[in-house]
Amino acid sequence: MNKKMKHVYVACLLMASFGAYAQTTVQSPYSKFGLGNLKGSVLPNQRAMGGISAGVFRSSYINNINMQNPASYAGINLTTLDIGMSGSFANLKTNTLSENSFNSSLSHLAMAFPVTMKSALSVGILPYSELGYNFSNRMTVGTTTDNTKTVDYLYSGEGGLSKAYIGYGIQFGDHFRVGANAEYLFGNLIQNRSTEYVNEAGAINSRDQLKNSVAGFNFSYGAQYDFRLGNKTSLVLGYSGSSASKLNSEKSQYITIYQKDSQGNELSALDTLSAVENGKTNLKLPLVHNFGFTLVKENKWLIGADYRTGKWSEMSIDNVNQNLKDTYGFSVGGQFTPDVTAINGYFKRVDYRLGFTYDKTYIQMNNQDVKQMALTVGLGLPLQPAYARSSFYKMNISAEIGRRGKVSNGLIQERYVNLHLGFMLNDKWFQRFRFD
């Protein structure tokens, strides 16, 4: 088998295996709301720069895939493959409790192919949201000493949505680019609510199990315009957005009652009070906007910023508004490469990245907006190019050190360190050569 085709075959197998990967494990009580914790469609090199994307065209001599703004595909002139994984250390803290966790998973697989001199096609798959939590709330109910009972309200959830996409970007003239992605979102959102009587063997407990199986199409789009400011220096203005759309969903819900024995072990369900199986419904996504710019000196440095908004107050599941809030946020970041042509001194060819990101999330608890912020850092480590420099390889490493929420007014503070690792390949595939 031709060597290049082997690469394609392996990539397709990886993509198929990734598609079977329908759930992501995460431990965050804030993922209980909406669709869970949103991941964002940026790869490790951009995450290291605060997640800037709207104005990112080319950050170095190596092609990068920026699916957050498909207009950027127009600059891809080599077949590009990017695959990676991520891990997260998290600490949850209240006024009285603290808990640590670690989770890891595959994070993305993306490919891009030049179609003409000024256009390219990209396909890939990556997480869209993550849902995972398990917590309880203990309360005392009753009106007199004789009928007072201690009750645990238990909440748990798992799952999330993945996004597979295909996109195309094209450049008109020397400065203007547009692009669009067709996105297929799929996955399961599983949530449980239980009511259990503490130290009451034989008491009747109840559980509400809700599962939404989501599958449907969404569309995103983008545009970029660059101004040449001087020799190898340019200003790129960018916009990207995601349409408001409805996704198909199948709802399954079971309300059951059960008992526990004297040791606290759960017994088989006594009865099913209500059952809904594969009920046809929908999930409505909101309109999202992202504006940004970058100031770039070719193969030397890049700085930029993004501002984003989302109408998440309009999101609904099963035609029920989810009581979310509109979001806004911003990112700033940049990259510096000392000397991309250095022959001696490997670290002169390394990309050094730094950024900051801030978001008001769509969650509001106890009349307080839940906000999220993170400092981001990373490196782009060039690997040995192929003979005659026809192929280029780079390993991108990034870290997000952040916080979601705060310890006040009964809220939970979530501190996290997200680590991302990506391997990027640029090569000439699907081209016919006179000599091989």
Q: Write down the domain spans for the chain.
A: 3-16+26-427
Instruction: Supply the mean pLDDT for the chain.
Output: 88
Distance CA 303, CA 55 (A): 10
Other CB atoms within 10 A of residue 385 CB: 14
Nearest CA to 77 out of 429, 436, 400, 387 is that of: 429
User: What pLDDT score was predicted for residue 406?
Assistant: 87
Residue 69 pLDDT more than 80? yes
**Cα 384 from chain centroid?**
30
Task: Indicate whether this model's pTM tops 0.75.
Answer: yes
Residue 430 pLDDT more than 70? no
Distance CA 65, CA 336 (A): 19
The token duo for 359 is: 């978001």
Residue 118 pLDDT more than 80? yes
CATH architecture of 3-16+26-427: Beta Barrel (2.40)
User: What pLDDT score was predicted for residue 15?
Assistant: 46
Across residues 34-45, what is the average pLDDT?
A: 93
Q: Which amino acid is at 435?
A: F
Q: How far is CA 348 from CA 300, 337, 342, 345, in A?
A: 11, 7, 6, 6
Across residues 187-195, what is the average pLDDT?
A: 94
Distance CA 54, CA 62 (A): 19
User: What pLDDT score was predicted for residue 21?
Assistant: 44
Alpha helices in 246-368 (DSSP H): none
User: What pLDDT score was predicted for residue 8?
Assistant: 45
Q: Name 210's bridge partners.
A: 191, 253
Residue 265 pLDDT more than 90? no
Residue 310 pLDDT more than 90? yes
